[in-house]
Chains A and B, each alone.
Chain A
């Protein structure tokens, strides 16, 4: 099993703060995805990164894929309460379509 470790596990911040979530593995992934899961719902896809070093932006969220395609980061600028949720990274190895999910980061943004 190729484990994807996310850090931190839990993060509680105030509205307006910036934060970064990390997703690390010893394995190389052909692509990596980030999902957000709100309480009582399933995960929702935020972004897919494919190329080593790739950076994608989604409003206040910035996603980066490591040069070696073993790690990724998610940076949120000026966090809002609506950003609260469980953030999951998920990687694809080789030509497989099956995703391996990370351990998750639970984010709480308070007023």
Chain B
């Protein structure tokens, strides 16, 4: 399988639940990203991993916890989320070089009830 694969595609969770989003890339890229896409807002960068090290954390609440066990896999662990966290969560990968394009997954549509 090629490209960036995200699972699950849809997730409904209660505010007290713990769940994880998974992202996998088979492109040989060395950087991976989590973005949040809400209605009427630009794409918000959450976390950046380069060579499996977290290089950026954009003031994201601690109820979101990323994990990058190797260069092909990225997780976003979720716990005690709020309804306003409902959004499309997009994973992307790229070569960590200026001007290189990102390859995005199809996203996980998260609904917090």
List B contacts of A102 (CB < 8 A): 42
List B contacts of A99 (CB < 8 A): 45, 102
- Whether A98 contacts B101 in the complex (CB less than 8 A), given A42-B90, A104-B42, comes out as no
Residue from A31, A48, A50, A98 within 8 A of B45 (CB atoms): A98
Residue from A33, A40, A41, A101 within 8 A of B43 (CB atoms): A101
List B residues 38-53 near A (Cβ within 8 Å): 42-43, 45, 48, 50
Residue of A nearest to B4 (CB): A42
How many A-B contacts are there with CB distance less than 8 Å?
55
Q: How far is the CA of A49 from the CA of B103 in the complex (A)?
A: 17
List B contacts of A41 (CB < 8 A): 106-107
Residue of B nearest to A38 (CB): B106
**Residues 89-101 of chain A: 1 if any B CB is under 8 Å from the residue's CB, otherwise 0?**
0101011111101
Residue from A48, A50, A103 within 8 A of B42 (CB atoms): A103
Residue of B nearest to A95 (CB): B98
List A residues 13-32 near B (Cβ within 8 Å): 30-31
Q: How far is the CA of A30 from the CA of B100 in the complex (A)?
A: 11
**Residues 31-63 of chain A: 1 if any B CB is under 8 Å from the residue's CB, otherwise 0?**
101010000111111001010000000000000
Q: How far is the CA of A96 from the CA of B4 in the complex (A)?
A: 22
Q: B98 contacts A96, CB within 8 Å? A: yes
- Whether A97 contacts B96 in the complex (CB less than 8 A), given A102-B42, A104-B42, comes out as yes
Residue from A40, A48, A103, A104 within 8 A of B99 (CB atoms): A48
Residue from B4, B56, B103, B106 within 8 A of A98 (CB atoms): B56
List 8 extra interface pairs beyond A31-B99, A42-B106, A45-B102, CB under 8 A.
A41-B106, A42-B90, A42-B107, A43-B102, A92-B98, A97-B50, A97-B94, A97-B99
List 10 A-B pairs, Cβ < 8 Å: A42-B105, A42-B107, A44-B104, A45-B103, A96-B98, A97-B94, A97-B95, A97-B97, A97-B100, A102-B42
